[in-house]
Amino acid sequence: MKERDTGDNRSRLRVYLGVARPDHWFKNVLVLAGGTVVIWRPEIDVGPYFSVALRLGCALLVTCLASGANYIVNEILDGPRDKRHPVKRFRPVPANEVSIARLWVLAGLFALTSAGTAWLLLPRQSFLWLLAFLLIGGGVYNVPPVRAKEIPYADVIVESVNGPIRIAIGWYAVTTACGPPLAFLLSCWTLAAFVMAGKRYAEYRFIDDPNRAAAYRSSFRWYTERSLMISMIVYALASLLFFALQVLDSGRYRLFWMLPFIALFIVWFVRLSAGKEAVVREPEHIWERPAFAGYCIGMAILFAVLGLTAG
């Protein structure tokens, strides 16, 4: 595919870097959440907080680079189908604004820089495995012959596993003495699956034509609005269950105060999904809903404060 002339080199560079979706990297804040949970554990010696902050910052950078590589691969392989989408057809790949060969090189550079930085600055064995899982997960999700994103339910489950992987990256940046709690990882996984299912639901309603939806994404041949909504309810309930199990296991009972706030987030998100909101279909639009964005930030702060003071 030939690239269309996009003007001077600086604007062209912005187009190429934009394919890595830096506006989506805010999701990597889960790395910081993983590190925060470690700090709650008084039995774990994490060292000076300045050192912890440096390691978490490095882990965040490494994760952003690996995510960028996955997003580029996603854009390349989704290009032909994105041409059938009413909004995504204007992205650089389906609009023929970039060279596919150069994008493959850029994806390789992102992945190698991520792995090299982790090798030099972070616990080597743990981080290389986690980065491998992140990159392999992106491959399973995007690359034929598996291409899980075209398989109903597997698309949500495989993509949402990036949530607990990011949590684990933050955890191991702070300590390698033990692993993160299983119930906490499962709670993050199922909550991420709820969000992903909501994205599918909003997207399906936005296209508003089963045949066009199926032509754009094969999994939509099997999904219906009803089945997607049911899956959202199942994932949400599972997330609340695993969260409660984690609180009981850790003994930090004040974290139960999070449950009504999580429940309100779930209700709010479902309402946005039913309204075909762009903030659900494309998470980078979250800042266009300042009340919802502020609520999410407030929940994160409350979670950190309750965890640090819980007993």
Q: What is the pLDDT of residue 11?
A: 83
- pLDDT band (50, 70, 90) for residue 256: very high
Q: What is the pLDDT of residue 153?
A: 94
Cβ atoms of 279 and 294 closer than 8 Å: no
Considering the chain, what is the average pLDDT of its residues? 87
Q: What is the pLDDT of residue 304?
A: 83
Amino acid identity, residue 59?
A
Amino acid identity, residue 69?
A
CA separation, residue 186 to residues 34, 120, 132 (Å) = 13, 30, 20
Q: What is the pLDDT of residue 134?
A: 86
**pLDDT tens digits along 75-116:** 998 888 888 877 788 889 988 899 999 999 999 999 999 989
Q: What is the pLDDT of residue 9?
A: 72
Q: What is the pLDDT of residue 311?
A: 54
- pLDDT band (50, 70, 90) for residue 243: very high
Q: What is the pLDDT of residue 124?
A: 67
pLDDT for 5 beyond 60: no
Fold of 1-179: Tetracycline Repressor; domain 2 (1.10.357)
**pLDDT tens digits along 126-180:** 777 888 888 888 888 888 888 898 899 999 999 999 999 999 999 988 888 888 8
- pLDDT band (50, 70, 90) for residue 67: very high
**pLDDT tens digits along 192-221:** 999 999 999 998 988 888 888 888 888 999
Classify the C-alpha dihedral 61-286-243-154 as positive or negative. negative
Cβ atoms of 191 and 239 closer than 8 Å: yes
**pLDDT tens digits along 34-44:** 888 888 777 77
**Average confidence (pLDDT) over 243-261:** 89
DSSP letters, 9-62, are HHHHHHHHHHHT-GGGGGGGGHHHHHHHHHHH-TTS----HHHHHHHHHHHHHH
Q: What is the pLDDT of residue 6?
A: 47
Higher pLDDT, 251 or 263: 263
pLDDT for 239 beyond 70: yes
DSSP letters, 178-246, are SPPPHHHHHHHHHHHHHHHHHHHHHHHHHH--HHHHHHH-GGGGT--HHHHHHHHHHHHHHHHHHHHHH
